[in-house]
Structure 1
Amino acid sequence: MTKTDQSSAIPLDTTARLPAVTYVLTFCIAVIGSNSLVLGPIAPEVARSLGTSVALVMSASAAFGLGTAASALLMARHVDRLGARRMLLGALLGLAAALALSALAPAVPALALTQLAAGVASGIALPAIYAGAAAVAPPGRESRTIGVVLTGWTLSMVAGVSLSALVADLVHWRAVYAVVALLAFGAFATLKTSRYRDAPAAGSAPWPLAALRIGGVKPLLVACAAFMSAFYGIYGYLGDHLHSALGEPVSANGIVALVYGIGFGAAALLDGVVDRLGARRVMPFAFLAVAAVYLGFALAGGSFAFVLVITFLWGLSNHFGLNVLIMRLAAIDPARRGTIMGLNSAVTYLAVFAGTTGFGPLYASQGFEMAALAALVLMLVAAAAGSWRLPASATPRN
């Protein structure tokens, strides 16, 4: 029997221990996140080593994002058909191979090609991880379980951003990819030897665009698009704002990333609130809290001290926003969870492109404050989409 809503009145055990595989999935997220974040800090060293420009080196990051989006859109449905564990094992092995080849890339085109392959593997892995986290969560502890898995992004941001530049300076940029490749293989081996098992869904999984007809999917994907575009639009230009407008050194970017990661991770301690209140109730307030953060950037973005305070709150509120978004999408139809989470990942990585390219001209012509106000408007759209009520006949299943 399935629950009809996360805020159901059915008594739930909120003290059940999280399964051990939760932490394995957290490690998997940390590995994927590390690869997605490390190129930025080491790009100057990569460019010097390969005799090219930083802008050209960053084309490998764009290739990773496009590979992830395309793979999530086209391949994630097989998570339902073959099982999350089986798909994740294959994706981690492919990711390890792609990262090892990245470490050996002789030129930028080869690096972009290997990162495209890493994106394809990540686009399979992310929906499998989120689907797996939702499936293994004890009843009444869905938010806590998913929240723990999401702290993998904190680990990748804090450790990946901080350590990648250090490894590149002390050893070589190729060592960064070699280390992440070993971590990916370690995640594969850990999952392979774990006791985690799952069963594929009965019947065939729909094609991704067919899944858009499932009740409740489209409004939440609109919320995802607005939420992620706002995030990447601000995150992509915050560093330049600190350096160009506030006169802070480039190292300030690392401090901001650390503060954001601390806020994002600290929010996991409060995920039990979401379990008690229900993701549907919390979502509009979480998105409005993120909107308030962008208002804070617009009003107080001229002070580095205030930026740090606001960035901590940004990490805190973004954690809740991402948590409830994944919870609600994962609850719509467990039999097609992988397909739906694939759509979520595809929209997320398309938002990386939309946010950075769309906010660029606005930031260049109107400044960081106007960009922050644009992000605020997007978050109001996300809150409205997240508040959309379905007809009773289309109520999502948990």
Structure 2
Amino acid sequence: MQNDNHVTSEISSMSVPAIVWALTGCIGLIGSNSLALGPIAPAIADGFDVEVQDIMLASAAFGLGTALGAIALGQLIDRAGPRRTLAYVMLIMGIGFISSGVAQGAVVLTISQFLVGISAGVALPAIYTLAAVVASPGHEGRTIGVVLTGWTISMVAGVPLSTLIADGLGWRAFYIAIAAAALIAGAGLLVNGQEHEAQRKGVASRTPITALTIKGVLPLLAACGCFMAAFYGVYAYVGDHLHVNLEYPVRANGLAAISYGIGFGSAVFLDRYVDAYSGRRILLPLIFLMVAVVYAVMSLVSGTYTGVLAVMAIWGLANHFGLNVLIMRLTALEPSQRGAIMGLNSAVTYLALFAGTIVMGKVYAAEGFVYITLCGGLLSLLASVFSLCAAYVQSPD
């Protein structure tokens, strides 16, 4: 017990490297782009004189590009180094944002978002890899946790800001704004942080697929797929459930998203405990089990708006821990192939988004919201089982 208190005290005093905040900002930009298109799609559709569905094809193109970029180009992170790779793809992403902002039709917007997606597919694993590289030993959980708050920033601030900019200055101004931020981030990473490249050692995998042979990768990716399919599949229909089934106005959905984001972001203050107990192989299975319980509770309170809001915050908290420890486990498997492994992780995540949203949509249409929360709980239980298998494959006692 005294040792645990000593570890916790040390972690509490750990200072976060400046580059970690830059990584957090990069996550925020990627998240803002992916989450903001839906709310501003009607304005873009009016400008192009097309249907909203035509605009949302750009969102699908972004997701497809992200998955393809991660699995096809993830090995570049190991070869060139995570900082240099991230710098270049943020510059390319900035070009994609500019192209989105000046697009004169839905087709050009879709192609531009596909380019942004390919860049994001490399940027996300590079960000997680670099976070693991720059983290002080024993402080990986808190470092990665700070980076993950970028998703909270995009959800709580990025999306509302995008609608304000679209209303005040036009939707094109939003893309120009995030393009400027991406270009600044890319240039900053390119000229700073040279010392981080010296920490990159080892032989990079030839393709991300070869990283599948590393012990523990397959079961952890399976856990990732179940975990992410559960999240995206349920989250996609929370808004419709509140509006159609509980008969709340659409603006009520925003408060639900903020509640989730606050829960997700507030977990960063508890990440020091993740570091203190990160060596225990049962940690990730227990977290996924906790997520399964959250889905079960969600099914019980789904008939009340206040109940859903409360569970959304707890859901965000639990998902933060799950994502944090999952990334820690994956990046620790083989340091010389972190980029390839995280590329696979990003590919699985976005394929899970695609599959989870479609399959859960059919369940939702046929059986209702309660049943998709139960499906989410079942998938989380499977994630727990897969992560337990990974723990015993990696380090049997």
Q: TM-score range by the shorter chain?
A: over 0.9
Partner SS state of residue 138, structure 1? coil
Most deviating of 93-102 and 283-292 = 283-292
The structural deviation recorded for 1:302 is 1.0
Structure number with higher helix proportion = 2
Supply the distance in 2 between the matched residues of 1:210 and 1:387 (Cα, whole angstroms). Answer: 23
| C-alpha contact (below 8 Å) 1:216/1:395 kept by paired residues | no
Partner SS state of residue 119, structure 2? helix
Tell me the equivalent position of 1:325.
Answer: 326
Supply the distance in 1 between the matched residues of 2:206 and 2:388 (Cα, whole angstroms). Answer: 26
Tell me the equivalent position of 1:246.
Answer: 246
The structural deviation recorded for 1:281 is 2.9
The structural deviation recorded for 1:389 is 4.8
Supply the distance in 2 between the matched residues of 1:141 and 1:296 (Cα, whole angstroms). Answer: 32
Tell me the equivalent position of 1:3.
Answer: none
The structural deviation recorded for 1:193 is 4.0
Partner SS state of residue 388, structure 1? helix
The structural deviation recorded for 1:194 is 3.1
Matched, 1:370 2:368: no
Tell me the equivalent position of 1:278.
Answer: 278
Supply the distance in 2 between the matched residues of 1:390 and 1:276 (Cα, whole angstroms). Answer: 17
Structure 1 198/301 Cα, relative in aligned 2: closer, same or farther at 3 Å? same
TM-superposition CA deviations, 1:103-150 (whole Å, max 9, x none)? 011111111100000001111111110000001110110100000010
Q: Report matched runs for 1:170-319 at 5 Å.
A: 170-196=168-194, 197-199=196-198, 200-278=200-278, 280-319=281-320
The structural deviation recorded for 1:173 is 1.0
Supply the distance in 1 between the matched residues of 2:23 and 2:237 (Cα, whole angstroms). Answer: 30
Supply the distance in 2 between the matched residues of 1:291 and 1:84 (Cα, whole angstroms). Answer: 34
TM-superposition CA deviations, 1:131-176 (whole Å, max 9, x none)? 0000111011010000001001111111122111111111111111
Matched, 1:21 2:11: no
TM-superposition CA deviations, 1:328-380 (whole Å, max 9, x none)? 00000000000000000000011110111111111011000001111110000
Say which of 42, 45, 51 aligns to 2:43: 45
Structure 1 106/271 Cα, relative in aligned 2: closer, same or farther at 3 Å? same
Matched, 1:341 2:342: yes
Partner SS state of residue 271, structure 1? helix
Supply the distance in 1 between the matched residues of 2:306 and 2:140 (Cα, whole angstroms). Answer: 35
The structural deviation recorded for 1:36 is 1.0
The structural deviation recorded for 1:17 is 2.0
| C-alpha contact (below 8 Å) 1:83/1:201 kept by paired residues | no
Q: TM-score, normalised by structure 1?
A: 0.94
Amino acid at match of 1:83: G
Supply the distance in 2 between the matched residues of 1:281 and 1:141 (Cα, whole angstroms). Answer: 19
Partner SS state of residue 162, structure 1? helix
Q: TM-score, normalised by structure 2?
A: 0.94
Amino acid at match of 2:232: Y
The structural deviation recorded for 1:195 is 3.2
Moved over 4 A (4+): 9-13, 389-392
Mark the runs of 5 or more structure 2 residues left unpaired by the alignment: none
Tell me the equivalent position of 1:105.
Answer: 103
Partner SS state of residue 198, structure 1? helix
Most deviating of 261-270 and 191-200 = 191-200
Q: Report matched runs for 1:67-216 at 5 Å.
A: 67-196=65-194, 197-199=196-198, 200-216=200-216
| C-alpha contact (below 8 Å) 2:88/2:190 kept by paired residues | no
Mark the runs of 5 or more structure 1 residues left unpaired by the alignment: 1-6
Structure 1 82/72 Cα, relative in aligned 2: closer, same or farther at 3 Å? same
Structure 1 11/179 Cα, relative in aligned 2: closer, same or farther at 3 Å? closer
| C-alpha contact (below 8 Å) 2:94/2:179 kept by paired residues | yes
| C-alpha contact (below 8 Å) 1:215/1:395 kept by paired residues | no
Supply the distance in 2 between the matched residues of 1:203 and 1:290 (Cα, whole angstroms). Answer: 37
| C-alpha contact (below 8 Å) 1:13/1:140 kept by paired residues | no
Fraction of identical pairs, as percent = 49
Supply the distance in 2 between the matched residues of 1:201 and 1:216 (Cα, whole angstroms). Answer: 21
